[in-house]
Structure 1
């Protein structure tokens, strides 16, 4: 019986000792686990801090890049706007210069046309005036011829030639020279040589000098009539 009790005590002690050892190991393991957990928590906090810093850096980088992109877009828009504004101003200046040149050309053309129109109207008016004057002198010539005022007729012939130079009519030139020949022939026929005074002779020569060599035949005829009248 005692032996049984002794064995039971030994087994109980062993169990107690084993239980104490297991508890000690369990506590140590628990403490180690807690320590590891704390270390892991610390590592997690460190990693979280690094992650937050990294995200903050990323956000700042992205913000900086976005800001640079916005600045570049704005600068490009501003540059393009200024370039377009400059091109528009250049185009405006070009158009204005073209308009000014066209205006000057149009003004000059209008002035030229107005000047030509006025000149033509002026020439036409003066042409009518000279023709009226020619007809007036011619009427006076015929009237004086009927009165046999041959000296005055020769003066009229000279006036007709002067007016005709403004009209430039070959027909009238021939008509005037024929009138001069007619007066000289009448004066010669009526023996009125006295009309050939120095003034009248000078007037006749002035009249002949106003026509070209194409009228040399009739000019010679006039000179021969003068010589004939002076020889009497």
Structure 2
């Protein structure tokens, strides 16, 4: 209740909120009160980021020059990026099966292993980075987490080309030999499926390749614009 002068008496006055803990200073374990030691990243952690940036640059280069190279130099395109569309078009362009298997396996495997090591080295910081710049979100993270809990043995092969799955496998400390084995199965399956699709739709892909060759500079210009727009959008997030 209020006094005559308009102030509240002590009994009715609301209690002051408890002060928030001071965020400055060393973090501590609330159970023991002991300081939590800072996370020590492995010495090779920065190298994984350098490798990841190099792979991103290669992918962007492929996304620009693919229309000019895919007909005469499909191996170069696959070395830069082994996305599904480049796998199919490279087969249509006549790349040899040994080169197709060797280059695509190395490129897909390198990207997955690098992202796996980033997950091991940077854990939650890596996930936060992917959420900010690559469109990953909390719902997707929960979905993949459930997938890892229920069927890790199937998730990695099915998403052998997914940077997100690779990072999460590192965050969850999936043993590297297990990752490599499942990844090999996934890559073999992907290459086999793309080979089958290239055979099944050979006529359509040949027609597409002819159009790309005829108007390659238009494709290059459009690809350059898309690459610039996509990267600008990611950096603005």
**Greater helix percent: which structure?**
1
TM-score (norm 1): 0.29
TM-score under structure 2 normalisation? 0.29
Bigger RCO (CA 8 Å, 6+ sep): 2
